[in-house]
Amino acid sequence: MYTRRTFLTSTALAAATTFIVGCSRSSNDADGGGTAAAAASSTSARAIGKRRVGRSDISISPLVLGGNVFGWTADRERSFEILDRFVEAGFETIDTADVYSGWIPGNRGGESETILGEWMASRRNRDSIVLITKLGGEMDGHKGLSAANVQRAAEASLKRLQTDYIDIYFSHFPDDDTPHEETLAAYQKLIDAGKVRIIGASNFDANQVRAALDASAANGLPRYEILQPRYNLYDRDGFDGPLRDLALAEELGVITYSSLASGFLTGKYRSEADLDQSPRGRGVARYLDERGMRILSALDEVAARHGAEPADVALAWVIVREGVTAPIASARNVEQLDTLVRAPTLASALTAEDIQLLDQASAA
């Protein structure tokens, strides 16, 4: 259980946390991996500092590891390797959901949480991890944000994760059939019981977030402190505009998913022939248009200037966007991860010219 004493301790720590600061990047950072890459990234992660999540006492590094691949494109052993390397690099925040990875034949959901729980138990590092999970998708014949399902889903996730508290618990999808007041009251019980620290809203539009915040204020219930929209150089309209304006006005944290557009922004998919390179490839087809190619060209140009990879640049662009706390990014192996963890350092090295080029290329 997350006790009041722990909350007070973490509040003091959060007060001492710094926001992102300037950090130079050497050309040697592009060498691709291994222990040296992890050590360099760890130094960079500590130098960059953390960002506060909304008005809460939680602060996170400006890169979140996506757990959607655990039990899908990364088996248990590979997932453990990725998780080990991520924390070795100086990062701490991991995102999953109860439904991951139920879309795979033979899976039922909960695979990602189970792997993550086993890893934390084996490493005995739960208290050093900022753990994010979600509920609301269809799981074991249940879905939505009713009070009963919030309670059921939370207990099931806690069991799979082998923990007694969740740091950030997201409503994965809006539920038009359940009043916000009912959902927030259910979260209040979990918070009072020490099972959840703060709550967030994923895939909500600005009107839905506004309604939830109003319900919270009117009824003295916990508010959503953080949002999780789809956002990347190609998919910008889900956050740029009213949702970002609301997040800024209400001091909400924002962690973005699909930050690499299902892998398209890594540059590995440039034609239909490339789509069979991974199980995720078919989800990239919609990006293979003129605008997508224009974005890849800009990524290539900026990457060449900094001795970086396109994926580094794409994540760095998200990191420096106004209103964003951190992007979520996943990796199928440690080689991919060793590239991704360099993005926060690169973010502080991007020039105004770099950002202008990327903005123009990605303009609809």
Catalytic residue annotation: 100
Cα torsion for 138, 144, 147, 153, to the nearest 10°? Answer: 30
Residue with tokens 């890849």: 296
> Within 10 A of 267 (CB to CB), how many other CB atoms are there?
20
Half-sphere exposure at residue 162, Cβ-oriented, CA atoms within 13 angstroms: 15
Half-sphere exposure at residue 252, Cβ-oriented, CA atoms within 13 angstroms: 28
Token representation of residue 234: 């190609």
Query: What is the DSSP code string of 317-356?
Result: HHHTSTT--EEEE--SSHHHHHHHTTHHHHHTT--HHHHH
How many distinct helices (H) and strands (E) make up the chain?
13, 10
Token representation of residue 163: 């923990």
Is residue 134 helix, strand or coil? strand
Q: Which residues of 227-249 are buried (b: 16+ CB within 10 A; e: fewer)?
A: bbbbbbbbbbebbbeebbebbee
Asked if 83 and 118 touch (Cβ cutoff 8 Å), the reply is no
How far is 315 from 323, CA to CA, in rounded Å?
14
